Amino acid sequence: MMFCNNSDKPSRRWFSRLTAGNYLKVLLTAALVAVICMAIFLSLGKIRLSQAVVHMALVLVYSVSISLPSMLLLNWIAFRYTERFPRLVFLFCAAALLVSSCFGVLVSNLLFLIAGIIPSNTFWLEFQANITFSIVIALVVGLSITTYETLRYKLQAATLELRTRQVEQERAYKLLAEARLSSLESRIHPHFLFNTLNSISALIPRDPQLAEDTVGKLASLLRFSLGANHSSLVSLSQELKIVRDYLEIEKTRFGKRLSYSIEVPEELQDVKVPPLALQSLVENAVKHVVSQRSQGAVIKISGSRDAGRVRLKVLDDGPGFSLDAIKPEHGLGNLIARLELLFGSEGRLDVTRENEKTAVSLSFPWNGRS
């Protein structure tokens, strides 16, 4: 557990997982222990400052000899027993630290004996003098780092699980939104088809040739609407073509009673809009204004960009209406739901009065050209 990568699964070749960074941590820890020990000895007056460097080097040898096998054992225990015996793993770690402390002191004394630093007749006396202090330091440092690594591993695992759940939740929300959007769009197509077929049926008795031309325009509109069902956004230029075709179809029905104009800047032609969004506004004006007035009406379509938002407006001669009275199954009700799904609170549909005319505006964030 000490200096180990607990995110990896247990491996028979556990020693291959120990990186150079882990060894560096061990050496730094050993050096820190050596410095602390020398500071304690100096404060107690047991050694002089001139002896500090030599003693610190000796303590560093003890620290490295103990810490390296401790790291190997604790990593091995962590990979092998953390999942199997979570309640006993600290006991295993303590036992490993006892073994590595005895081994480290023994190896250090052998090195000192070979180097002639300690005589052979005092070998076991040195061992007994250093073993107790080494065990205490090893247990304190080793178990502290083990506790820290255990808590860090649990925090990482909890964070990973939380992120995984968030990704899954976002994916579920996205799938739900796409399903709702597809459902709303599928409800638009029959409504649009019904109104267009009514226009064509009115043309057949009066002008079969014009009716045939209108059928061609209807076929073009249906191809667009079926293709738009696979995308939640289309370019404004495509949407304006749909609007023109629709108005031309309706114009063959209403004649001079329907007049329209389209004034949209060239810079907005590539802006992405919900398919059939502007057409829904125009269709609403034709159904509730043009068809209800004997003198007909003028429909003006315009677009603008201001303060990072795109605004598309349909102006007609109608008396106006309130969005609060719009039912969800209505064409504008569908449009409001689609705006909410696509843009959240940034997508808006507003109804205002301008110079005794009704202005229905569709606005959403400006994202530049595609």
HEC secondary structure over the chain: CCCCCCCCCCCCCHHHHCCHHHHHHHHHHHHHHHHHHHHHHHHHCCCCHHHHHHHHHHHHHHHHHHHHHHHHHHHHHHHHHCCCCCCCHHHHHHHHHHHHHHHHHHHHHHHHHHHCCCCHHHHHHHHHHHHHHHHHHHHHHHHHHHHHHHHHHHHHHHHHHHHHHHHHHHHHHHHHHHHHHHHHHHHHHHHHHHHHHHHHHHHCCCCHHHHHHHHHHHHHHHHHHHHHCCCCCEEHHHHHHHHHHHHHHHHHHHHHHEEEEEECCHHHCCCEECCCHHHHHHHHHHHHHHCCCCCCEEEEEEEEEECCEEEEEEEECCCCCCHHHCCCCCHHHHHHHHHHHHHHHHCEEEEEEECCEEEEEEEEECCCCC
Comparing 16 with 115, the larger pLDDT belongs to 115
Where along the chain do the CATH 3.30.565.10 domains lie? 204-365
What percent of the chain shows pLDDT beyond 70?
Answer: 73
The predicted model gives 19-34 an average pLDDT of 58
pTM of the predicted structure, to 2 decimals = 0.51
Average of per-residue pLDDT values in the chain: 76
77 φ/ψ angles, rounded to the nearest 5 degrees: -65, -40
Q: Does 13 have pLDDT greater than 50?
A: no
* 204-365: CATH class: alpha beta
Q: Given pLDDT bands bounded at 50, 70 and 90, which one contains residue 52?
A: low
